[in-house]
Copies of this chain bind each other. A is one copy, B any other.
Amino acid sequence: MNKKLILVTNDDGITAPGIRALVTEMQLLGEVVVVAPDSPQSGQGHAITLTEPIRLKKVDIFKGIEAYECTGTPVDCVKLAKNVILKDRTIDLCVSGINHGSNASINIIYSGTMSAAMEASIEGINSIGYSLLDFSYNADFSAAASYARRIAHEVLRNGMPESNLLNVNIPAVPMNEIKGIKVCRQAEGNWNETFQEGKDPRGQKYYWLTGEFDHKEHEEDTDLYALEHNYVSIVPSAHDLTNYKAIPELGKFEKL
């Protein structure tokens, strides 16, 4: 049997502990190729690099694994992997992460981790983004890594019906406190932003984004609820943003 080909990427950069944990697990499931940003790219969303060239460098930082660092965004990494590095091969699975910090609820929209996974899904590749609810560099990825492997293994074996993109978040608790997995929907939520205002060394005013996440709802079928109750959340996600229920309601706009 041919080994499955697994593309690994992230948005925290190729040296982040989260991607290292993911690479280690994915090696148990198939042939791994890593293409990841050469610097942190959190909050890059679905950005792509149009107005300048990007560079790719083969690096030897994961023992025995083909790996490249890229100057572009997470989405650029996936595009380069598919169209240049793995041009003549079939990618069986793309995994992104393990992100340092939550991508539950509305965070999927801002997340480079999830946008990389979504890009692969747009190209028809089964894709999973993983995020651990712990921002710290020294976070304990062991439980997250174990769930990442189990979920990827299932997808490689049996696919994912009706979907090709999963947003997986893992609570920041030890393995024995995780109660299991819940398949859920994206909770409604948003960031209440404030901007830190200051003056730079040349006296120019600046604004620096900060803010607090606002849980808008805590319904039992949401990812935020699952995570708050120590479940791993899986939200099957899509790139069709159409709000179908609004289509009939907007009929009068056709008369404008």
Contacts and interface: CB of A to CB of B under 8 A. Distances in A.
B242 A182 contact: no
B50 A47 contact: no
Nearest to A168: B253
Contact of A246 (B106, B150, B161, B246): B161
A208 to B, nearest CB: 4
Given A194-B83, A242-B186, A243-B163, A47 B49 contact: no
Interface residues of A, number: 86
A47 B116 CA distance: 13
Interface in A214-256: 234-247, 249-256
Contacts of A106: 122, 239
Interface stretch (A25-33, A89-97, A198-206): A198-206
B43 A50 contact: yes
A100 interface: no
A65 interface: no
A42 interface: yes
A56 interface: yes
A44 B47 contact: yes
Given A108-B241, A160-B246, 8 more contacts: A79-B209, A109-B239, A151-B256, A160-B249, A160-B250, A162-B249, A234-B253, A238-B243
Interface of A: 40, 42-56, 73, 75-76, 79-80, 82-84, 106, 108-110, 115, 118, 122-123, 147, 150-151, 154, 160-163, 165-167, 180-186, 188, 190, 193-195, 197-198, 200, 204-209, 234-247, 249-256
